[in-house]
Structure 1
Amino acid sequence: MSTETGDTLPNLVTIVGRGVPSNYEITVDGAIELVGADPLEEATVVTDHSAEGSVDTGVMRFRFSGEMADIRIVDWNGIAAPDSPSTPAVHIDYGVSARGDST
């Protein structure tokens, strides 16, 4: 990730899988990009203002500009967070330096 990207996409959303297949949809009012992974390998769809995909184990990170508009996480049964203890944990950090990201 370039320093320019870290400056133009200063916010970070992290999705941490809990070992159960789950789907996510993220929408922001700015730009968004996947960090440190190949969208084709991860079966992640990233458009100008949104990202969607699935996670079982591991961590998915996205850098974005603007504000978080919406995030929807559902487990393999379609039960949304917070009603399902199996849905991934989500962390949203604003104004985060790009130095800690792995690319």
Structure 2
Amino acid sequence: MSAEADETLPHLVTIVGSGVPSNYEITVDGEIELVGADPLEEATVVTNHSAEGAVETGVMRFRFSGEMANIHVVDWNGIPASDSPRPPAVHVDYSGARTAPNCV
């Protein structure tokens, strides 16, 4: 990713798989872009304002602009991350200020 892309998409959301298949949906009020992976290979759908896909192990990273609107994570049984015993970890970095949003 270029320095120009870092400036136009300054924030980062990282999803770290926990070993349990999980699905995620991310929505921002700006733009979002998958970092360092091929969306077709990762079966990730990315539009201008949202991304969705699955993670079991490994890390998925997305750069975005604007504010985080929503993160929705469920495990393979459809159990929301807040109630799942092993949800993926979600980290949001607003240009250096790391936060962990509420997963719905």
TM-score in same-fold range (> 0.5): yes
Give the equivalent residue in structure 2 for 1:20: 20
Q: How does 1:1-103 map to 2 (within 5 A)?
A: 1-96=1-96
CA distance in structure 2 between the aligned counterparts of 1:85 and 1:51, rounded to whole angstroms: 24
Report SS of the residue matched to 2:40.
helix
RMSD, aligned α-carbons: 0.6
TM-score where L is the length of structure 1: 0.91
Post-superposition shift, 1:20? Answer: 0.7
- Quick one: percent identity of the two aligned structures? 79
Q: Give the TM-score of the pair, scaled to structure 2.
A: 0.90
Q: Which has the higher helix share?
A: 1
**Would you say how many aligned residue pairs link Structure 1 and Structure 2?**
96
User: Structure 1 segments of 4 or more deviating over 3 A?
Assistant: none
Distance 2:8 2:85 in 1: 34
Partner SS for 2:41: helix
- In structure 2, stretches of 5+ residues that fail to align are 97-104
- State the secondary structure of the residue aligned to 1:61: strand
Q: Look up the equivalent residue of 1:81 and give its one-letter code.
A: A
1:39-64 CA deviation, whole Å, 9 max, x = no partner? 00000000000000000000000000
After TM superposition, give the deviation of residue 86 of structure 1 in Å. Answer: 1.7
1-side partners of 2:25 and 2:64: how far apart? Answer: 14
